[in-house]
Amino acid sequence: MTVDPMISAFHAEGRPRVWSLIVTIMGDMALPRGGRMPVGVMADILRPLGISESALRTALSRLTQDGWVMSARDGRTSLYRLTPKALGETDAASKLIYAPPLDQRLWRLGLGPAPKGAVQLKEGWVFHGIPQARALTFADGPLQGSGQRLLRPDHERALQDMASDLAAHDQSNDALTARLLLIHRWRRLCLRHAEVPAAFDPGSSEGLRADVARVYTALWSQSEEMLTRLGAPSTADDAPTTCRFRPDTH
C-alpha cells in the first residue's frame, strides 16, 4: 500500500484548507529547522496532494493578513516564519499534540458528578489520574471493546479516520507526505476532541497517541532526509523533535 489512500481520504473531506496545512508544516517541519521555510519547499511538500503553488501563495497571503506568518527575502528566495503571536499559540498546541502516551492503567470510568478535567460521555465520564469515588478502572472490564459507542458521533468518526490513516501510514513509501498527513489529522483531532482511553479507540490496545508516536518516529529519519534534499533549512542544533512524544518534551 502507498500513501495514495491517505491522499484520497484527505480529499474526500472536501476542498483542502491550504492555510491549515501550512500551519501544520510550520509547526511540525519548519520550527525544528530554525523556524523558516522557503515557499519553494512548501510547494514541493504540498505538490503530492495536488495543491498548486498559486493556491499556496494565496493561503500564505491570507495567513500574513491574519497575523500568523511573516516573510523575508534571502537573495531570490522568499522564506516564511510564524509571527510571535502564532509562535505562542503553536507552542501551547505542541504541548498537547506531542505529549507522551498516557498510562492506560490510570484511566477511570465514573457516573454522577464528573471531576474537573473529566471527559463527558453519553453516559458517565472518564478521567485520567488518581482514582475517584464511584469510579472503576478499565482493568475491571466495564467497557472493553464497547467504549466508543459512548462518544459523540463526530468524535467517534474522528477516531475511526485516525485509525484508518495509521494503518495506511504504516505501509507508506512516501515518508514526507505520510508524515504531513499523519500529523495534520492528529493535530486537528487533538485540538477538537479530548483524549480517551484505548478501549474507545478502534483497533488500538495502547491508545491512538501511542500508535501515532510509533508511526511518527518510524517516519522521522526518512522524512527529514527528504526535507533536506528539497532545500529546507538545516535542523537547529537545539531542536527537540527527536524527543517528540517523549516525557517532558514537545
Decide if 107 contacts 197 (C-beta within 8 A): yes
Nearest-angstrom CA–CA distance, 139 and 154:
27
pLDDT of 89 reads 95
Write out pLDDT tens, residues 148-172: 567 888 888 999 899 888 888 766 6
Closest CA to 176 of 6, 55, 1: 6
Closest CA to 250 of 212, 81, 239: 239
How sure is the predictor about 68, in pLDDT bands with cuts at 50, 70 and 90?
very high
Average pLDDT of the residues of the chain: 85
Decide if 96 contacts 245 (C-beta within 8 A): no
Write out pLDDT tens, residues 118-151: 888 887 888 887 655 555 555 444 444 455 567 8
Write out pLDDT tens, residues 219-236: 999 999 999 999 999 875
CA distances from 163 to 100, 122, 157, 231 (A): 18, 22, 10, 32
**In this structure, is the dihedral angle defined by the CA atoms of residues 79, 50, 175 and 155, taken in order, positive or negative?**
positive
Nearest-angstrom CA–CA distance, 39 and 6:
24
Where b means 16+ CB within 10 Å and e means fewer, 85-120 reads ebbeebeebbeebbbbbbebeebbbbeeebeeebbe
Closest CA to 201 of 242, 162, 243, 230: 162
pLDDT of 150 reads 77
Nearest-angstrom CA–CA distance, 175 and 225:
10
Cell readout for 57 is: 501563495
